[in-house]
Amino acid sequence: MEGISESALRALAGQRSFERGQGYLDAVSGVQVGDGWVTASVRGAERYEVELTLAGPGELAGECDCPYGMEGNFCKHLVALGLTVLARREGLPRQRKAARDRAQVLYGWLSGLSKDELLALVREQIGEDRQLRRRLELRAASARGDLAAIRALVRELLDIGPFAQYGYVEYADARAYADQARKAVSVIGELAGSTSRADDAITLAREAMLLLADAVENVDDSDGWLGQIGGDLAVAHLEACRAAGPEPEELARWLVGHALGDMDDGLTDIDPLDYEEVLGDEGMALLRKLTLEAWRGNRRGWAEKYLMERLAKAGGDVDVVIAVHAADLAPSGHTHLVIAHELDTARRPDEALRWAERGIEDTRDLADIDTALVDYLCDRYGQADRLPDAVALRRDHFVARRTLLAYRQLRVAAQAANCWPAEREAALAVLRADAGSGQRDGYGGGPVLIDALLDDKDIDAAWHAATETGAHDQQWLALADQIRATRPADALGVYRRLAEPLAKQTGNAIYEQLTSLLLSMRECHRRLGSQDEFTVYLTALRTDQKRKRNLMRLLDQHGL
């Protein structure tokens, strides 16, 4: 196929999928070449069917039934097939000619059959192929305009019974069920495209949504097949409504009921605003009225709030958006922040600031506040040259949280306001009190005081505090790394203490930690001029640990 090339495959798949596809060449099997198409199976997490086609002169396209491919992507399995075809390009012309010859022979033979012979052939095929029979039955019912027959077949296609064991469709059978369900949606989609049958398509689409919602409760849809089918159903319903032009009031009521009810568990994800053209002014007015009534009846309902907010935003009514959020304020202040952002977007900054400040006032405990709200307010205070207010808020937040991050944020605010020395002393006093009482919330569970002093590059104070109050091993390690150049003896004591328990453990991660400590110890001995002492220590350790081959290999790699 002239349209297949590495550059075309790379362009369609993207670099990542192209590179991954190169690793699947040995997984390609059953390659069949036709006139303008190539099919094969590719073994991945399971066996996938892939097909490459030339949509036009030099226009390469592909389909794969893996989850990524079903979303319309040119996946790694298609890349693998394309690269396999390229590797066999010399035989392609002959295979394509053979495919054309076979097709001509087949079409010639079929053309020579009588009507009765063709009917007999079709009967034979539908007797052997259940799926073909169903497709033809649906086409026949559609051609006759037999809604009852189509409805019965759609219900049959959406029935999980043939795939379920003990009433549940396991993961291994979910895809086969989805393939069957997709045929029902395909028929509804065909009806939706016909003006004369669009009303039937609306009815069937809504019924199918309910059936699919019931089915998904009993199907392991880990790969999201039913979600894709639900999306296709939503598209078919919208297209049918556009073609049929249903009564606006009925459509508005159905859309609100669907959006606020439990009809489809989110499978179809229908957006009522997509129907604005179909609803017209009358229908949209009723849609807003019904939504408002529903929201007033349940101001904290997620679906009610979401639909109310969507309609308000679409109408550019910021005050309604704010009212929706204000009716259910989160104690963390997060909702206040959402409102502030909405007001900023509407260019109402003074109101936005008041709502943000109210979020701080309404919060019972600053330890539970949404940190993003604090950040927002401090940014606003900085822009307004209200630096003392920013420092006061950061201080209160730090006292409530007593974390290294809150300490850093207080430092930034206080430095901007030129008052960090005084704020630092007060903050460290709080952390010293925590360390003295045994509170441990810092790195690795050690005192935050140690982390704060290390972050301030006050190494001597951090060492003194660790000696007085204790510290976590990771904090001791950080301290040792900081003082190694100036106080190698103290650092060496830390490294040796941390190495002792590691020598009794196994695992590559442990070996890497131990090797790192040994390298630091060697550096300390070098600075102390006691390399011989380290040699004795290392020799003894290697003798004791000689059975740990990975450790010995790692030590050799680092010259230990």
* Domain assignment present for 189: no
80, pLDDT greater than 60: yes
* Domain assignment present for 509: yes
Q: What is the pLDDT of residue 483?
A: 94
Structure confidence by residue, pLDDT tens digits, 464-517: 999 998 899 999 999 999 999 999 999 999 999 999 999 889 999 999 999 999
* Domain assignment present for 298: no
Q: Using the 3D structure, point to which of 70, 96, 112 is the last residue of a domain.
A: 112
Domain count, the chain: 2
Return left, alpha or beta for 30; rule: phi > 0 is left, psi -120 to 50 is alpha, else beta. left
Structure confidence by residue, pLDDT tens digits, 374-383: 999 999 999 9
* Domain assignment present for 45: yes
Q: What is the pLDDT of residue 288?
A: 93
* Domain assignment present for 435: no
* Domain assignment present for 324: no
194, pLDDT greater than 80: no
Q: Using the 3D structure, point to which of 92, 112, 132 is the last residue of a domain.
A: 112
Q: What percent of the chain has pLDDT over 90?
A: 57
The residue type found at 29 is S
Domain span at 513? 484-557
What is the average pLDDT score of the chain? 89
Rg of the Cα trace of the chain?
Answer: 35
443, pLDDT greater than 60: no
420, pLDDT greater than 70: yes
Distance CA 61, CA 38 (A): 11
H helices of 419-458, in order, are 420-436, 448-455
Please report which confidence band the pLDDT of residue 186 belongs to, taking 50, 70 and 90 as the band edges.
confident
Distance CA 226, CA 204 (A): 17
Structure confidence by residue, pLDDT tens digits, 518-543: 999 999 999 999 999 999 999 999 99
Q: What is the pTM of this model?
A: 0.67
Non-local (6+) Cβ contacts of 458 within 8 A are none
Structure confidence by residue, pLDDT tens digits, 28-64: 998 888 878 889 999 887 889 999 987 666 678 888 9
Q: Using the 3D structure, point to which of 85, 112, 139 is the last residue of a domain.
A: 112
Structure confidence by residue, pLDDT tens digits, 328-337: 999 999 999 9
- The residue that leads in pLDDT, 106 or 139, is 106
Q: What is the pLDDT of residue 57?
A: 61
Helices 508-528 and 531-544: crossing angle in degrees, nearest 10, is 160
Please report which confidence band the pLDDT of residue 94 belongs to, taking 50, 70 and 90 as the band edges.
confident
* Domain assignment present for 37: yes
* Domain assignment present for 51: yes
Mean pLDDT of the region 310-319: 91
Non-local (6+) Cβ contacts of 225 within 8 A are 67, 70, 174, 175, 178
- The residue that leads in pLDDT, 165 or 360, is 360
